[in-house]
Structure 1
């Protein structure tokens, strides 16, 4: 179905829109640094899940611009959902947006902050733009057209052939603590990180190291760059990942389930469990590393309300 649409037109618009939203974020950051403006709130009575006035203003702006330009398209946004608006997922073109991925970073002035704008058609992610205005990095991709940094540098960085992808012990792995700090979730995540890092003679995988940026979208883009080998997270949302999933896939990477149950099929974007592997010479090596992760990923609950036409919990 996506082939009947001009994906390059949608991509061009999404890039412009992300740049406009990024300016709003950058201006708000400068205001915060000068001690003026921008209050933040706690969502869902969870002190680790924050939302700022800028999150809300940026999403409102993006939603308005999309409605004016593509009035027949659907919209799913983080702050819209937080206000209790039910999402309906159909085959129609649907923009899935996170106005600020890395809100905690934004609140603290840490630069790993991104606006994420993804488009699905026929329920498939086909266009993705992730813009990091504080670092001036713009990642973009459309299905069949490749992935790029700042519209000129083809991803992954290693061209024309990415380095071999061997054992998990040779990998850098990105993950996050997440906002769910309940013992049944955070204890399992920490134990998995422990297993990824500890020595093989102690039943570990002895990976090179762990990386955390505080942003699912940026973590995925580091996989698209090829500078991180694996990204695993449980508990983030479709608006955090849809745009970057397109970028990873167009860079030659794969994104599969981050559940404890192995499945080589493309990830269900509503599953809240994601595992990305960077580009390699062959898919078998990617799936080999994915299997090594599946071997140690525990069962972690990531509940959500049902999305009509989407994921059923």
Structure 2
């Protein structure tokens, strides 16, 4: 038996669900409704067509490889963060490594002050969207004024005919300090729980996946005490170490990018999906290969300096087994 035949036989029932913060995926056009001034051809960053096309091509390469080692195929579902609009996602799925994957795009504009949103890519052959909506996260700053942040994208659909709810998040940043801003991420966690309760009131057996850049680690209060309660499981908790994470800040690894799911993904049921394993996609081609920051994500910009990489975050993924 050839290794190829063995490979196909062994893994065709495994499917990858991923999440990837794409690091400021802006187009090159000036949008008066977003703070995109840093990402224009005449800005200090010199964000032009050539750089944009190089970035989406690189992201397409990265995405096509997430989970490929075991499944031999690109993710069936990928949540994304830091995208300016739907058009950049439509450009992304037309790149060389994704164009034949038949990806659909779900995106809603959100009121984030930077003009960045979350979105969902899905392979139409495997996943069918039933409904999608944008759920606002209402937080105030220290002056009592609304702090405009990313909405939660709630997508309901069928994965190989099994209904699944997916919540894609990008929680408020730590820019003004982790402790000072932690209350904002707790509000975001509580909003996810509201949606989860809304879903399970109608269907106690509903299968739910919550993913995103939470700007908090698996052991942070927002995740551990507000989001992941008795009915959910966070496989990312085991992956975060001193030596590994999804982003590196001041030589410390964080694992802000996580995929969490309802406990019923641990059950084996025929024609349903069950959890197999989770991982960080941190292959060497996504890393800085030498120098002081060796091993960190190979990013597009470091400060204002163009580096020409992929993203300042590594993607994360889980394998689901279709029984």
TM-score (norm 1): 0.27
Q: Which has the higher strand share?
A: 2
Q: Which has the higher helix share?
A: 1
